[in-house]
Amino acid sequence: MDIDKVRALTDTELHQELSAAKRHLYDLRFQLATRQLTDYSQIPQTRRTIARILTVMTERNLADGVGAAAAADERPTRPSRGARR
């Protein structure tokens, strides 16, 4: 699935596609372990599809302003390098 098709999906469809792609990757890994997989190129293709879906979901969250505020709250604070304890 290319990025244009992923961007055309609704949020609900994105979640459904993500779960389906993760399940497909699980099945491919199982086939690989049991030596039933014949087309090994499906594994990286599925991983890229998952990455595309997650990228679009992140873009939409950042566009809504939800992701930026949540990311700022979740960052742990660390002392600076020059600070002494």
User: 52, 6 in Cβ contact below 8 A?
Assistant: yes
- For the beta carbon of residue 29, count every other beta carbon within 10 angstroms: 13
The confidence band for 81, taking pLDDT boundaries of 50, 70 and 90, is confident
Task: Tell me the HSE value of 2 on the side-chain side, using a 13 A CA sphere.
Answer: 1
Give CA separation, 13 vs 8, 20, 64, in Å: 10, 10, 18
Q: What fold is seen in the domain 3-62?
A: Helix Hairpins (1.10.287)
**Percent of the chain predicted with pLDDT > 90:** 72
Contact 25, 50 (CB under 8 A): yes
State the CB neighbour count (10 A cutoff) for residue 21: 21
pLDDT digits (tens, 9 = 90+) for 55-68: 999 999 999 886 55
Spans of all domains in the chain: 3-62
For residue 36, is pLDDT > 80?
yes
